[in-house]
Amino acid sequence: MINPSTHSDARGILFYDGACGLCTRSVRFLLWADRAGKLRFAPLQGETAKKRLPADLRKASCLSTVVYLCGDQPQPLLRSEAVGRAMIDLGGFWRCVGRTLLITPYCIREAGYRFVAKHRMRILSQCACALPTPQERTQMLD
């Protein structure tokens, strides 16, 4: 499943659809919010995902699923659970936002996540984003 020996440090890795405009803009926002560099980011279509995630999470039908690997969780977190936990790991104000998300009943937060995921290409179809800064590049994995 997940090879812990390839995990170089305790920072979490958030996997996202690299071809989705909404996803890449969300990653840009998280890079801005993550002033301490607590998270790393990798596209589900990339080499890091191939090495770290099971094949069933990388197939085309799963590209709308955000996946979060964090050091203290043996299994990857998915969808709204992944988003909430990544926000908690950012700390500060975002910790409160993440906790609020995770105390929301599962069926409600998953319904919201699935609605946005279903319509994400219509919400923001353009994938063109600014290039990451040198500091942000240290958090980006292939």
The model carries a pTM of 0.80
Domain span at 32:
8-123
How do residues 58-116 score in pLDDT, each as one tens digit?
766 666 789 999 877 778 999 999 999 999 999 999 999 999 999 999 999 999 989 98
Q: Is residue 137 part of a domain?
A: no
Q: Is residue 35 part of a domain?
A: yes
Count of the separate structural domains present in the chain: 1
Q: Is residue 18 part of a domain?
A: yes
Q: Are 4 and 72 in contact (CB under 8 A)?
A: no
